[in-house]
Amino acid sequence: MTDVLAQVAIIGGGPAGLIAAETLIEQGVSVNLYERMPSVGRKFLIAGKGGLNLTHSEPFPEFLKKYGERETELTPYLTKFGPTQIQQWAKQYGINTFIGTSGRVFPVGMKAAPLLYAWKTRLIELGVTFLFRHEWTGFAPDGSLIFKHGDQTLIKKYQAVLFAMGGASWSRTGSKGDWVPIFEAAGIKVDPFKPSNCGFDVLWTDHFKSKFDGNPLKTIQVGLIDAKGELIQKKGEFIVTNAGLEGSLIYALSAKIRSGIEQNGQTTIYLDLLPDLSTEELFQRLSKERGKRSFSSFLEKTTGLNGVKLGLLWEFIPREDLANPEKCAQAIKHLPITLTTPHPLEEAISSAGGVDFEEMDDRLMLKKIPGVFCAGEMLDWEAPTGGYLITACFATGVAAANGILSRLKHQ
């Protein structure tokens, strides 16, 4: 028997689902929030372990560009609820924010747990009903929602539904992507999930792996040629691992690196190991007399290269080329490294792919299933780390909730 319940169900207790619940309950809408895990915000908490990066402070036009191919689709939602609104929202919970040296915005204290606790407490006080350990398993013939809860199968019907079930990375937080076959069976196009903000494999020699696994590379510039033939260059830092490369600078370029691998089977990036020195200045330094010093000692003394940066030169450049000042200077400024495979989706910080935007109207309602909305990482977009992921989850959650409010008003 189907229970017909008042108004709205939200499936998923991440940032998109929670902010949608807040938006709806503040307008007097009854909300039941279903979560397959025993608590909400699990990925939110994990993301905040090293400091909760809520958003970014850069100029808004530059901020929007970080959404790449989905900038056009996401701009209306981010314009209404973006970096400024997130900081104002956090402040209402007594959480002030500050801007870090990289322009990223963090809560004072850096922690996610106090904010999440205050958020959930207020939602309960406002009347949101949380139903934990409820796993959505599909639609009934009449469009009702089917849930598995322990040994029970529950069938519930609502006036509107918002799905905010996340993508397919970090499955231990509940984002397993197992909703995809259900959506596809309903005729909804879902673009395949791919790892985003992930590391990539490099075929290191055994010697290099054993010596430099876990070493950070700081003050580095990475360049690559994207699919349009344009040169992309970014400064930052990343880490050498036993398998390859990972870290913030690699994550920022992961979409373009992954695209190159899909097209060509591999992607070559070019490292500038000393971005603050010109090629000409390096050539002049390397042209000096070496005397009785070893070549490694000479390189370190004249350029400042040591450790893993020096190891990378030995790994990829023939010794006879390094002995040539011109070729050595070119190698330091333009060191090619070939990336072969993205690290697995399970290890990625986020995922690309999800519900295609063409399946939804501008309110984020599915065109084929009126009254059903989608938000958050289960939509087909991606962005680098730096506050962009959480911001878009909030923005689409608010947009979908407002779409539901509009629909309820006109029913």
pLDDT band at 1 (very low <50, low <70, confident <90, very high): very low
Q: For the segment 368-401, what is each residue's pLDDT rounded down to a tens digit?
A: 999 999 999 999 999 999 999 999 999 999 999 9
Amino acid in position 398 = V
Q: Which domains does the chain have, with CATH numbers?
A: 3-194+351-410 (3.50.50.60), 200-339 (no CATH)
The alpha carbon torsion through 245, 247, 253, 254 (nearest 10 deg) reads 70
State yes or no: pLDDT of 6 exceeds 60: no
% of the chain surpassing 70 pLDDT: 99
Report the phi/psi class of residue 235: left, alpha or beta, with left for phi > 0 and alpha for psi in -120 to 50.
Answer: beta
Is 348:166 a contact under the CB 8 Å cutoff? no
Q: How confident is the model over 223-228, as a mean pLDDT?
A: 87
pLDDT at 318: 92
Phi first, then psi: give them for residue 326, nearest 5 degrees: -65, -45
Distances (CA, A) of 8 to 5, 83, 137, 164: 8, 27, 18, 13
State yes or no: pLDDT of 138 exceeds 50: yes
pLDDT band at 171 (very low <50, low <70, confident <90, very high): confident
Q: For the segment 64-95, what is each residue's pLDDT rounded down to a tens digit?
A: 999 999 999 999 999 999 999 999 999 999 99
Distance between the two ends of the chain, CA-based, in angstroms? 25
User: What gap in Å lies between CA 55 and CA 398, rounded to an integer?
Assistant: 16
